[in-house]
Amino acid sequence: MMNRAAREVASPRVVNIADLRGLAKRRLPRAVFDYLDGGAEDELTLRENCRVFCDFTFRPRQAVKFPEYNLRTTVLGREISFPAFLAPVGYSRLMHPGGEVVAAAAAGAAGTGYTLSTISGHKLENVRAATKGPAWFQLYIVGGRATAEASIERARKAGFDALVVTVDTPIAGMRERDFRNGMKEMLGSSILAKLPYLQDILEHPGWLYSFLRDGGMPRLENIVAPGTGAMQLVDVSAALANAVVSWDDLKWIREVWKGPVIAKGVLIGDDAKRALDEGVAAIVVSNHGGRQLDCASASLRALPEVVAAVNGRCEILMDGGVRRGSDIVKALCLGARAVLIGRAYAYGLAAAGQSGVARAIEILKADVDRTLRLLGCASVAELDETYLSRTRMD
């Protein structure tokens, strides 16, 4: 029997990711929703990440039948139920008290993996314990090298499978919605600064009740500087400016972390080759969901260049703009091993916690299965460019 949260996101109320987005928008205060939903500056890259999938149409094989259709793939040696991994999403605990723990649990229950952001409100040990699936830890070097090394050691002891190093964040992007909505003031300690934004918060009593019951503003439990304890959320933007990652940093990171290292945020072939030189096991083609440099290339458009530069020497993943299973299939046709999904599941988390994340995964997995069948393709491993036509030339 379904619980209340599961019923709220079941069909026919929720049939696609856009429906989950609508529920999230109604439940969250504007500042929290726009933090999740928004992008940098004019949000051109944010929109283009989604639109670019329309530049490709399918070339299906008709009148074919297979005894079964195989959605399973492997990423860094771990099998997952379909080619989508949950991406790191910062501040998840603001969206729902269960935050990273319930998202990881939903991923594991669905047979896929979860990536924990450094900017997270639940302890990484609890997140890893919540899932039987593969789990990766995404690293920002906030708080300095000693703090980062302490987090890496905790991730190792907890049993995380890989370390994701985000390379595209020398400074936080200009997310104008956050400034207009008072996100900084909301994260701060001053009640007076919050006053202009309280009306909107009070108009979302369900979220407010859950937020206060959870203890209010969480600390960043996975950024623990020696002698100071867990970092406050409001400190992150300033800390990022002092946490720039260079390719040379991958040398000491690989000395500390003996498992696979993934470089996330690559958009050009030259950077992909440099990442290979530094010994990464995988690359994520990503523009940070359009949240950093506006007018950067859409991830799907950058994907073929990176695939060609790597030439099979490491695994290629992609994130950005994925809202349907057909988007996942198109990315695989262009050379990705799998995709990372961020907003698609975060909308579900904000709407209904673990049930919402589970519903987002269920929708995308069913989409991939249906798309394969309609394409006349027996397995995601067989997807290639012959299944696509490019309708718009660059």
pTM metric for this prediction: 0.95
Cβ-Cβ contacts under 8 Å for 93 (sequence gap 6 or more): 99, 100, 120, 121, 122, 214, 218
Q: What pLDDT, in 10s, does the model give residues 151-194?
A: 999 999 999 999 999 999 888 899 999 989 988 887 777 778 88
pLDDT at residue 76, as a whole number = 98
> pLDDT (tens digit, 9 = 90+) per residue, 326-373?
999 999 999 999 999 999 999 999 999 999 999 999 999 999 999 999
pLDDT of 394 reads 58
Which H or E element spans position 147? helix 145-158
- Residue 224's H or E segment, with its range, is strand 219-225
Nearest alpha-carbon partner for 285 in 216, 350, 335:
335
Cα–Cα distance measured from residue 25 to residue 207, given in angstroms and rounded to the nearest whole number = 11
> Which residues in the chain land under pLDDT 50?
none
Query: Which positions are catalytic?
Result: 288
Task: Give pLDDT, residue 282.
Answer: 98
